[in-house]
Amino acid sequence: MSMTQLRDPLAPAQKITSQTLLERKQTGVPITALTAYDYATARLVDDAGIDMLLVGDSLAQVVLGYENTLPVTMDEMLHHTRAVRRAVRRAMLVADMPYGSYQLELAEGVRNAARFLKEAGAEAVKIEGGSNRLELIERLTDAEIPVVGHIGLTPQSVHRMGGYRVQGKSLAAIRRLRQDALALERAGVIAIVLEGIPREVAARITAEVAIPTIGIGAGNSCDGQILVLNDLLNLSFTPPAKFVRRYADVAEVISGAIKHYREDVQSRAFPAESESYHLPAEINEAIADETKVATRNVVKLSARRKA
Ligand code: KIV
């Protein structure tokens, strides 16, 4: 614990809610959103004034090392959402519902979504899909669970899509996306993530719905932007997608620090005197005296044995 900044307990933290996000759209102030998966990074994201914090199921890849988002479980998502909850004061906290937690049974979807609010302190859940999710969204909204929609390139559909491909390129696909967005809005979502679609399509959808759109790989006409934190920091160990901007090379910083530590340990440059605990002088002297007496006794004993 050291160089991390402590929060100013008196600093006002205006809480971001779904109403704030709506006002942002209405007043044309872009919404900022990022993912986070643990206490430390969530604190940094929240303290930096990001509006929405998503515990994304991208956790599966960037934190747990899986190849895609499909294997991450409810328990894992809840565990990480709780850690993030403990860090976040101002941002709106959204939890991603993992694959398999809402696609199979409506009642199971509602029960799982409620767990994010009840057991992990999330303020909304995000689910992937369009017109095929309307009944679930209505049930969730009815159960007082705010929902963020997610259409376009939906990573949980990786096998159906045949890979991570930009969506909404043909006229028919664009029409479907626009219909999906309007249907999600009617069903009650508070915002829609638009992922991996041409910027022109995202701009059109953004103009057509009254709720905020949050883009990732969808151009700059959306009402807000979201990125995977690890991508932005170069901590995801994959070549970045076209839409990722790397704002820092944290992998380089961490690797450099670890190599430096290893060298310092090997050369005994670490820990230094100033990084060690010391005995008070009188105790140190007393120990030295005791050691002298003990050494003298050993010498006498061995001399006697030899004689
Ligand atoms: O899981 C995720 O990180 C997402 C994105 C929208 C960022 O769903």
Instruction: Summarize pLDDT for 254-263 with one digit per residue, the tens.
Output: 999 999 999 9
Give the distance (Å) from ligand 1 centre to CA of residue 5: 28
Instruction: Say what the pLDDT of residue 13 is.
Output: 66
Instruction: Say what the pLDDT of residue 66 is.
Output: 98
Apex 198 CA angle, 248 and 30, nearest 5: 55
Query: Is residue 236 in contact with ligand 1, taking CB distance under 6 Å?
Result: no
Strand stretches in the chain, DSSP E: 31-35, 52-55, 92-96, 124-126, 147-152, 191-195, 213-216, 224-227
Indicate the fold that domain 18-245 takes in CATH: TIM Barrel (3.20.20)
Instruction: Say what the pLDDT of residue 8 is.
Output: 62
Give the distance (Å) from ligand 1 centre to CA of residue 96: 8
Token pair recorded at residue 61 = 């890849």
What span, in angstroms and rounded, lies between the C-alpha atoms of 125 and 138? 13
Give the distance (Å) from ligand 1 centre to CA of residue 290: 65
What are the 10-residue block averages of pLDDT along the chain, 307 residues in total? 59 86 98 98 98 98 98 98 98 98 98 98 98 98 98 97 96 98 98 98 98 98 98 96 97 98 98 96 91 80 81
Query: Is residue 62 in contact with ligand 1, taking CB distance under 6 Å?
Result: no
Q: Which ligand 1 atom is nearest residue 155's CA?
A: 8
With tokens 């679609």, the residue in question is 197
Looking at ligand 1, which residue's alpha carbon is closest to its atom 1? 56
Instruction: Say what the pLDDT of residue 180 is.
Output: 98
DSSP 233-258: TT-S-SPPPTT------HHHHHHHHH
Query: Is residue 192 in contact with ligand 1, taking CB distance under 6 Å?
Result: no
Instruction: Say what the pLDDT of residue 202 is.
Output: 98
Torsions phi, psi of 140, nearest 5?
Answer: -65, -45
With tokens 């901007």, the residue in question is 245
Which residues are identified as catalytic? 195
Looking at ligand 1, which residue's alpha carbon is closest to its atom 5? 56
Give the distance (Å) from ligand 1 centre to CA of residue 169: 21
